[in-house]
Structure formats: structure tokens, C-alpha cells
């Protein structure tokens, strides 16, 4: 049936959604404070950075400039803080409300985890599993309400993918149901002509 093709074509690909969320994260603008005057040529436009004047730049550009000691990113939390957040959030008791994660929590976590030792990763794995399982129960409720408030960017993308899949699936099922009678008659006619 046609609806089985829709399901097989749209199985939620976590890696693709994670990559998509990470690209959005890198493109998100952050505030930088120039450490020296600098003119940046970006996509045929010039961006002037003046010492002491705050400027908004895409995160990936700001990070490159920060490594070259040209700017300081002012509104980006420390990468190690996400590990503390993970432990704290995983140890909190179950709450009725879905607690909002600090901006781009999973993306910051994805950047911090590869820098840890295998021992540290093994110690954090139960924390991550506990956090995801607590949030998953509450996120499932969001399927019904279609409310994205309080969800991390990755959670929003996954929820939107699932909702799109369900919409396409229900549309395909409806089309199949509407065509069942005519398809059955065609099949019967084909069988009787053999």
C-alpha cells in the first residue's frame, strides 16, 4: 500500500535532525565584543568591528574570530557548564511541567562530550539517559497539543518531523480508504479476465 512507502521514506533520522539542528545552532547570531578594530569581508559585504562596540555575528564566524583573538563572544555560556546542567537536570525529581532547557542544550552537549575521557562519558551516560527518558514522556504529550514551547531546538525539529510524518501518513491512509472500492473493483475485473 501507498502509506507503507510514506512510512519507509520518512522514518525519523536522528542523525539528520541532529545535523540540521547543529547547522541552525552555528548560524545563530551571538553578540561579540571586538578586541581590536577589524574589517570582515563576508559574502561580498563588509562588516566593521570596532573596539568596545557590540556586534551580532553568526556563531561560526564569531568562533573563528575569537580563536584569532579578534573578538570575545559575550553571550555564549561556558562549554563545561552544560555538563553541570546535565547532571543537575537528570537528578531532579519528576515534575508535572516540562522544564525548559537552556538555549541549544543538546548542541552544546554535542560539542562538550567529545572532549571528555571515556571514563567521564561512561559516568555521564546514565545522566543523559535519565534526562531523555524524563523529557520524552512529556514531549509525547506535545504530539497531541502541538506545543513547542520549552523544547530545545533538536526536540522541536524531531517533533516537527514526527508531526509531518503523521500528517502525511493520515493523508495517505485517507486517500487509500477513499480508493479502496475502485481499486477492489479493478482487481476483481483483472482477476475475472484471466
CA gap 158, 148 in Å, rounded: 11
Residue 43 placed within a domain: no
Residue 162 placed within a domain: yes
Domains of the chain: total: 1
More confident call, 37 vs 103: 37
Residue 46 placed within a domain: no
pLDDT at residue 183 in the model: 62
Q: Determine which helix (DSSP H) or strand (DSSP E) holds 110, and give its type and residue range.
A: helix 105-112
Residue 17 placed within a domain: yes
Contacts of 82 (CB under 8 A, 6+ apart): 105, 108, 109, 112
Q: β-strand 38-42 against 29-34: which pairing, if any? A: unpaired
Report residue 40: phi and psi, to 5°: -110, 125
Residue 18 placed within a domain: yes
Residue 37's pLDDT band (cuts 50, 70, 90): very high
Sign of CA dihedral 142, 146, 149, 153: positive
Domain hosting 133: range is 2-25+77-188
pLDDT at residue 9 in the model: 45
CA gap 154, 34 in Å, rounded: 31
In tens, the pLDDT along 91-136 reads 876 655 566 777 788 888 888 888 888 898 888 888 888 887 777 7
pLDDT at residue 180 in the model: 58
CA gap 89, 166 in Å, rounded: 30
In tens, the pLDDT along 152-190 reads 777 777 777 766 766 666 566 556 555 555 666 666 666
Residue 135 placed within a domain: yes
Q: Global pTM?
A: 0.67
Residue 59 placed within a domain: no
Per cent of the chain over pLDDT 70 is: 65
Residue 142 placed within a domain: yes
Amino acid at each position: 500500500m501507498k502509506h507503507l512507502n510514506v512510512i519507509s521514506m520518512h522514518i525519523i533520522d536522528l542523525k539528520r535532525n541532529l545535523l540540521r539542528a547543529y547547522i541552525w545552532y552555528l548560524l545563530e547570531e551571538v553578540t561579540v565584543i571586538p578586541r581590536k578594530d577589524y574589517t570582515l569581508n563576508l559574502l561580498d559585504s563588509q562588516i566593521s568591528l570596532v573596539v568596545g562596540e557590540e556586534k551580532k555575528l553568526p556563531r561560526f564566524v564569531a568562533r573563528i574570530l575569537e580563536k584569532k583573538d579578534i573578538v570575545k563572544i559575550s553571550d555564549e555560556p561556558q562549554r563545561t557548564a552544560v555538563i553541570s546542567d546535565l547532571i543537575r537536570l537528570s537528578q531532579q525529581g519528576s515534575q508535572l511541567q516540562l522544564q525548559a532547557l537552556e538555549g541549544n542544550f543538546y548542541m552544546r552537549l554535542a560539542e562538550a562530550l567529545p572532549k571528555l575521557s571515556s571514563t567521564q562519558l561512561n559516568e555521564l551516560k546514565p545522566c543523559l539517559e535519565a534526562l531523555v527518558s524524563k523529557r520524552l514522556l512529556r514531549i509525547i504529550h506535545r504530539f497531541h497539543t502541538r506545543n513547542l514551547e520549552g523544547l530545545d531546538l533538536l526536540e522541536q525539529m524531531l517533533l516537527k518531523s514526527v508531526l509531518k510524518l503523521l500528517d502525511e501518513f493520515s493523508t495517505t491512509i485517507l486517500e487509500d480508504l477513499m480508493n479502496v472500492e475502485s481499486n477492489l473493483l479493478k482487481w476483481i475485473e483483472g482477476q475475472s479476465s484471466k
